[in-house]
Structure 1
Amino acid sequence: MTELYRSIFMKQKMMRKVLYSLIPVTLGSIYFYGWRTLVLMAVISVFGIFTEYLFKRKSNKKVSEAVLVTSILLTLTLPASTPFWVGIIGIIFGIVFAKEIFGGFGHNVFNPALAARTFLYVTFPEPMTVQWSTVSSGFPGGFARYLSPALDTITQSTPLGILRQGGEMLPLRNLFIGNTSGSLGEASAFLILVAAAYLLFTKTADWKLMLAPVIGFVGIHSILLLANVSSVPSPLHGLLSGGFLFMTVFMTTDPITAPKQTEAKWIYGLLIGIIASVIRIFGIFVGGAMFAVLIMNTFSPILDEGIKHLKSSKRKKVTA
C-alpha cells in the first residue's frame, strides 16, 4: 500500500502537515454529523485525484499531495447532506479551472478548494444554503449514525442565519464547542483553533496571515457597532459564527495564493477581514469570508510587486 501511494503521489512535507492538522476537524465533523462525512470526503478525494492524474499522465508526473488537501478542505466547507454529484462537480471544477489551467500546483492564483466551494455556492444554492443537518451531541454522537437528521429550516437556522434575521444570538459556548449547525468543518471553533496551533507550532502556516484577518474583522465590526449600524453582531459572535475562522486558518494561509512580502501579508489579511465583514453585514451572501479570500487572491501578486517597488525606490533614494 505504501509503495502504491509513493508511485502515485509526489512527497510534499508541508501538505502532509496540513493533512495532519485536519484530523481533529474531520473527527469532529464525524461526531457532529455522522459517518457520511467520511464517505463524502472519500468520493470527492477519489475524483480529485483522478482529475489531476488526467493532467499529469501526459507529462509522466505524479499527483501532488496538495490535491488531498484540496479535496478534504472542500468537503469540510460543505453541508453534511450535500449530494455526492454536487461534491464531484465541485472538485472537478476546482482542480481544472483553479489549478491545472494555471499550470498545476505552485502556479495557481486562486485557492482551488475555495474556488470550488464558491462555484457550488452560487450554482447550487439549495443544497449549499438550505439543506442543513442538526448537530449530534452526547456519546457516541455521530459515530453511531450515518447522517444526523435534517434541520427544520422553518423553526431553526444556522448561527449566521440567525444573525442575519436579527434573532437572538446563540451562546458563545455553543459556538466555541460546536453545538451549532453549519458546514462540516465550521461546527467547532475549538477544533479549528487546535488545528491552527499545530500549523503554527510546526511553522506550516504564517501567524501574520492568521492574525491580520482577525484584526480586520474585529476592527470593522467594532467600528460599525460604535456607529450604531443595525444588525451588527458583537465581534466575538461574528468571529465564531460561520466559516470565517476555518477560512482564516486554512485558506488565507495558503502559501501559494498568499503574498510573500511581510507588509503585503498584513495588508492582504486585514482586507480579507474587512471585506468578509462588509459582505456579511451589507451583502446578500452570508458567506462573506470565501468571497473575501478569492478577491484578495486576485490582488496578492499586485501587493507583492507593489511592496517590492516601494522598497526598491527607498533604496535608490538612500544610495542617491
Structure 2
Amino acid sequence: MKQLMMRKVLLSLIPIIVGAVFFFGWRTLLLMLVVTVAGILTEAIFKRRQNKKISEAVIVTSVLFSLTLPVATPFWVAIIGIIFGVAFAKEVFGGFGHNIFNPALAARTFIYVCFPEYLTVRWNIAASSFPGGFTRYITPAVDAVSGSTPLLSLRQSGIITSLQQLLFGNASGSMGETSGALILLGAIILILTKTIDWKLMLSPTVGFVATSSILTLIGVNNAPSPVFGLLSGGFLFASVYFITEPITAPKNSSAKILYGLLIGMITILIRVFGIFVEGVMFSVLIMNSFAPIIDVAFKELKKRRQVKTA
C-alpha cells in the first residue's frame, strides 16, 4: 500500500539516522533492519488472513521504534517490542488508520516495562569527533558509575549536561533522540512538505515549557530548566514524530491544542514527581486514549454555540 505521507516522514528521518550512525556506530542500521523485517513479517501475517497488502506505515513504525532504543539493545528484545507494537497496538484494532495507540510508542513502553535493564542502564558513549561511529560497529559502553544519559545524570548526581552537547547530540541516550539540531531539521522538512500539523508540535512544547517554568520558579526539586528539559530525553523527538501522528491525535483544531498542551504538562509532571526519568511515552499513550473524547467534547461545544447564536 503506497502512502506518500509515510515516505515524507522517512525522508525527514534521514539526517537523524545518519546522525545516529555517527554517534553510535553501524549497529544502528543493523538493529533498524532487524526490527523492520520483524515488523513487516508481523503485519504480513495479519494481512495475509485479511487478503490485504502491507502498508508502508509499518516501515515508519519500525524505524521510529528503533530510534527510541539504545544502540546496544539486544535484537531479541527489539523484535519482541515491534511484534507487540504491530500486533497489539495496531492490527487488533483493525490495522492502519484504526489504531488508538501509537504502535511505536506502545512497543517502546512494553519493553521498557518488561525489560527495563536494557533501556535504563545500558548506554553507549556518543562520538564527538569525525569519523565517529562511521568506523565502528558500536561505540564503547558507558561506565554505569561515571556516565549516563542527561536526565539520569541530573536526577542521580545533579550533573547538568551542557546545552551544546544536547543540541549537537554527543550525549548518551537513545539512538535518534540525542541531537536536538537533527530533530529540528526533521521537523522543518515535515513542515515544509506539509506532512504534520504545526499545532500538534507547538502545543506540547508550550505545555512543557510553561509547566517546567512554573515548577522551576517555585523551587521544586528535580525540575530542570525548560530548555534543558526540551533537549534532553525523548520529548523533542516525540513532539515531532509521535504527537503529530494524525491517526491517534484529535481531528478538531482546538482539540489538537488541548491535546498537545496536556501531553507537555503530563510529561514534566511524570519526570519531576514520578519514578520514571522519562515521561513522554506514557503521557502520549495516556492522551491517545483521551483523543476521541476530546474531539467529541469540542464538537458538542461547537453545536451548543451554534444553537445559542441561531
Normalising by structure 2, we get a TM-score of: 0.99
2:161 is equivalent to residue 147 of structure 1: no
Match of 2:95 among 95, 104, 115: 104
Alignment-derived partner of residue 52 in structure 1:
43
Alignment-derived partner of residue 222 in structure 1:
213
1: CA distance between counterparts of 2:50 and 2:286?
A: 32
2:26 is equivalent to residue 35 of structure 1: yes
2: CA distance between counterparts of 1:81 and 1:12?
A: 31
SS state at 1:64 partner:
coil
1: CA distance between counterparts of 2:218 and 2:158?
A: 20
Instruction: Say if 2:124 and 2:139, in contact at 8 Å, map to a contact too.
Output: yes
Report how far residue 144 of structure 1 moved: 0.3
1: CA distance between counterparts of 2:291 and 2:67?
A: 25
2: CA distance between counterparts of 1:130 and 1:170?
A: 17
Report how far residue 168 of structure 1 moved: 2.5
User: Which residue type is aligned with residue 268 of structure 2?
Assistant: S
Alignment-derived partner of residue 259 in structure 1:
250
2: CA distance between counterparts of 1:259 and 1:155?
A: 43
2: CA distance between counterparts of 1:169 and 1:78?
A: 22
What whole-Å deviation, never above 9, does each CA across 1:198-226 have from its counterpart, x for those lacking one? Answer: 00111101100000011000000111111
Report how far residue 166 of structure 1 moved: 4.7
Alignment-derived partner of residue 296 in structure 1:
287
Instruction: Say if 1:166 and 1:231, in contact at 8 Å, map to a contact too.
Output: no
2:160 is equivalent to residue 169 of structure 1: yes
Instruction: Say if 1:215 and 1:270, in contact at 8 Å, map to a contact too.
Output: yes
SS state at 2:176 partner:
helix
Match of 1:189 among 180, 189, 201: 180
1: CA distance between counterparts of 2:306 and 2:281?
A: 37
Match of 1:95 among 68, 78, 86: 86
Alignment-derived partner of residue 238 in structure 1:
229
Instruction: Say if 2:109 and 2:281, in contact at 8 Å, map to a contact too.
Output: yes
Alignment-derived partner of residue 79 in structure 1:
70
Report how far residue 137 of structure 1 moved: 2.2
Normalising by structure 1, we get a TM-score of: 0.96
2: CA distance between counterparts of 1:236 and 1:187?
A: 14
2: CA distance between counterparts of 1:130 and 1:15?
A: 32
Match of 2:120 among 101, 117, 129: 129
Report how far residue 58 of structure 1 moved: 2.1
What whole-Å deviation, never above 9, does each CA across 1:131-158 have from its counterpart, x for those lacking one? Answer: 1000112121101000000000111111
SS state at 2:158 partner:
coil
2:9 is equivalent to residue 26 of structure 1: no
2: CA distance between counterparts of 1:91 and 1:230?
A: 36
SS state at 1:80 partner:
coil
Alignment-derived partner of residue 274 in structure 1:
265
Sequence identity (%): 62
What whole-Å deviation, never above 9, does each CA across 1:91-140 have from its counterpart, x for those lacking one? Answer: 00000100000000000000000000000101000011111000112121
Match of 1:15 among 3, 6, 24: 6
What whole-Å deviation, never above 9, does each CA across 1:265-308 have from its counterpart, x for those lacking one? Answer: 00000000000000001100112000010000000000001000
Instruction: Say if 1:209 and 1:253, in contact at 8 Å, map to a contact too.
Output: yes
What whole-Å deviation, never above 9, does each CA across 1:227-280 have from its counterpart, x for those lacking one? Answer: 111221111011111110001100000010000101100000000000000000
Alignment-derived partner of residue 210 in structure 1:
201
